[in-house]
Amino acid sequence: MTDVRQKIQDTIDSTDVVLFMKGSKEMPQCGFSSRVAGVLNYMNVEYRDIDVLKDADVRQGIKDFSDWPTIPQLYIKGEFVGGCDIITEMTLSGELDQLFDKAGVTYDKDAANKIREANA
């Protein structure tokens, strides 16, 4: 499991935004992964998607790594942010925008505002 843990650490260290998800950003394989990928895609965030369905060790390893029991999991600048419910809440409250701003991650602010307007 140490190799998997190192692989996960290397991945989140080498990319500003990483989404561990079921499926890919182009073809999510569960509703929760689809929601988070949809937010990131709509906001034009550049991110790396890791399909946990392709590797059972990574699927369990990421849960152990974060001490978080569910997928998807979003990491920004090496820090675990949360899963679907947390990302949804942060998007609607504007906290995700603030986190992207603080981390220097480029995103479409107009798209973020449209998400909030549509859910007001």
Q: Which segments are annotated as binding site for [2Fe-2S] cluster? A: 30
Torsion of CA 79, 91, 16, 73, to 10 degrees: 50
Element (H, E) at 88: helix 84-93
Instruction: Show binding-site residues.
Output: 30
Phi-psi region of 72 (alpha: psi -120 to 50; beta: other; left: phi over 0): beta
